[in-house]
């Protein structure tokens, strides 16, 4: 089958025995917990019993370890690296972001997994302003500088998301592989790395989705955080129902684009099946409306709804997830 993600209420004995690359906790404060065996996200669930997510690796031995501000696990096919930074110890968010990404890329090189597949970025007060620049734009500047210094080109940018958590450390965690993934853009959206200068001194450095196909395993499509953006502009600022419409439409268009770009040998369309969804909600009062619409669009797909600030102040929700691709 391959890599899989599963949400959990409490980790039962079977889950404990499963080969885990990582255990992510949905909680109220993001803290360096690598030594405790889990990754604290600072994203608090809005309802239901889901308390975390397990990233389960295919059968095989997993080697894992942790440092002062890091956790890593690998099994020969995949490498998961998580890095934390306490902003009080850093010279601003730009410097912290660049350092974390330089360390991340260094770990990939050292451990022999040179290809970034998917990255998750969480930090506090993402829409706040410091020294005349929004914090999300500061983060984008630091990430870009690290990519540029390491020779990472636009065509290699992985799928990614950046959300504002409830407080605590800056967290960056990533999935990498020895096999290069195939990255995709949404035909309805401008590539994030080509946004005009009004969106910051450096454009966001990520792809809209990344497809990883390893021999003998189900191909996985990692979809970036998707919101109500058409071209490069927010559509329907602060309007919840309309933003849900556009977000779901963007997911549909992206998935259709991936499908038509990966036709089988007989020209047949592959099947893309959602495995898990993560829904980021700016205002908890909007949760029930968003949940109803998402469940109607994706019935029976495991989904977690977490409180988070979206990277643009006028966006009310964002959705990402993992899809399985069957030829």
What pLDDT, on a 0 to 100 scale, did the predictor assign at position 263? 86
Query: What is the distance between the alpha carbons of residues 208 and 154, in angstroms, rounded to a whole number?
Result: 12
Per-residue pLDDT tens for 63-72? 999 988 999 9
Query: What is the distance between the alpha carbons of residues 139 and 297, in angstroms, rounded to a whole number?
Result: 32
Confidence of residue 61 (pLDDT cuts 50, 70, 90): confident
CB of 166 closer than 8 Å to CB of 44: yes
Count the neighbouring beta carbons within 10 Å of the beta carbon of residue 169: 25
Query: What is the distance between the alpha carbons of residues 8 and 14, in angstroms, rounded to a whole number?
Result: 12
Cα separations (Å) of 70 from 88, 145, 323? 17, 21, 28
Per-residue pLDDT tens for 195-223? 999 899 999 999 999 999 999 999 999 99
What pLDDT, on a 0 to 100 scale, did the predictor assign at position 18? 67
Beta strands in 67-128 (DSSP E): 70-74, 78-85, 115-124
Strand pairing class (115-124; 159-165): parallel
Percent of residues, the chain, with pLDDT higher than 70: 96
Residues 126-137: what's their mean pLDDT? 96
What pLDDT, on a 0 to 100 scale, did the predictor assign at position 320? 98
Per-residue pLDDT tens for 4-14? 999 999 766 55
CB of 294 closer than 8 Å to CB of 320: no
What pLDDT, on a 0 to 100 scale, did the predictor assign at position 181? 98
CATH number assigned to the domain comprising residue 132: 3.30.1330.40
What pLDDT, on a 0 to 100 scale, did the predictor assign at position 17? 57
CB of 315 closer than 8 Å to CB of 228: yes
Query: What is the distance between the alpha carbons of residues 138 and 19, in angstroms, rounded to a whole number?
Result: 37
Numbers of helices and strands, H then E, in the chain:
5, 21
SS3 11: coil
Between 131 and 301, the higher pLDDT residue: 301
Residue with tokens 């071209």: 231
Per-residue pLDDT tens for 17-39? 567 899 999 999 998 766 677 89
Query: What is the distance between the alpha carbons of residues 72 and 109, in angstroms, rounded to a whole number?
Result: 13
Count the neighbouring beta carbons within 10 Å of the beta carbon of residue 268: 9
4-8 β-sheet, strand order:
4-8, 52-56, 20-25, 39-40
Catalytic residues: 318
What pLDDT, on a 0 to 100 scale, did the predictor assign at position 11? 60
Q: Which two tokens stand for residue 61?
A: 């031995």
Is 15 a residue whose pLDDT tops 90?
no
Strand pairing class (271-281; 182-184): unpaired
Query: What is the distance between the alpha carbons of residues 137 and 192, in angstroms, rounded to a whole number?
Result: 12
Percent of residues, the chain, with pLDDT higher than 90: 86
Q: What is the DSSP letter of 157?
A: P
Residues 313-319: what's their mean pLDDT? 98
Of the candidates 245, 325, 302, the residue with the CA atom closest to the CA atom of residue 54: 302
- Give the domain extent around 181: 4-326
Mean pLDDT of the chain: 94
Which residues 6+ apart lie within 8 Å of 145 measured at CB? 94, 98, 202
How many structural domains comprise the chain?
1
pTM confidence score: 0.96
Strand pairing class (317-326; 219-226): antiparallel
Per-residue pLDDT tens for 80-112? 999 999 999 999 999 999 999 999 999 999 999
Q: Which two tokens stand for residue 2?
A: 């391959």
170 - beta bridge partners?
Answer: 85
Q: Which two tokens stand for residue 316?
A: 């009310």
């Amino acid at each position: 089958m391959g890599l899989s993600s599963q949400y959990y209420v409490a980790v039962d004995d079977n889950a404990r025995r499963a080969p885990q690359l990582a255990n992510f906790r949905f909680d109220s404060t993001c803290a360096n917990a690598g030594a405790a065996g889990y990754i604290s996200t600072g994203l608090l669930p809005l309802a239901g019993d889901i308390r975390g997510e397990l990233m389960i690796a295919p059968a095989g031995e997993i080697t894992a370890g942790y440092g002062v501000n890091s956790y890593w696990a690998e099994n020969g096919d995949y490498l998961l690296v998580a890095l934390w930074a306490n902003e009080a110890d850093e010279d601003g968010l730009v410097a912290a972001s660049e350092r974390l990404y330089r360390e991340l890329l260094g770990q990939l090189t050292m451990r022999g997994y040179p290809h970034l597949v998917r990255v998750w970025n969480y930090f506090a007060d993402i829409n706040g302003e410091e020294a005349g620049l929004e914090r999300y734009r500061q983060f984008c500047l630091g990430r870009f500088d690290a990519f540029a210094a390491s020779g990472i080109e636009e065509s290699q940018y992985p799928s990614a998301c950046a959300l504002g958590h409830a407080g605590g450390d800056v967290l960056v965690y990533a999935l990498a592989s020895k096999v290069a993934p195939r990255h995709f853009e949404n035909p309805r959206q401008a590539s994030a790395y080509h946004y005009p200068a009004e969106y910051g001194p450096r454009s966001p450095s990520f792809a809209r989705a990344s497809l990883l196909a390893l021999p003998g395993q189900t191909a996985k499509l990692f979809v970036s955080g998707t919101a109500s953006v058409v071209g490069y502009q927010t559509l329907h600022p602060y309007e919840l129902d309309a933003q849900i419409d556009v977000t779901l439409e963007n997911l549909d268009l992206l998935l259709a684009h991936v499908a038509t770009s990966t036709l089988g040998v007989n020209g047949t369309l592959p099947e893309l099946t959602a495995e898990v969804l993560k829904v980021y909600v700016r205002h908890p009062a909007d949760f029930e409306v968003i949940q109803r619409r998402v469940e109607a669009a994706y019935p029976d797909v495991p989904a977690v709804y977490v409180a988070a600030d979206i990277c643009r102040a006028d966006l009310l929700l964002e959705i990402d997830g993992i899809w399985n691709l069957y030829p």
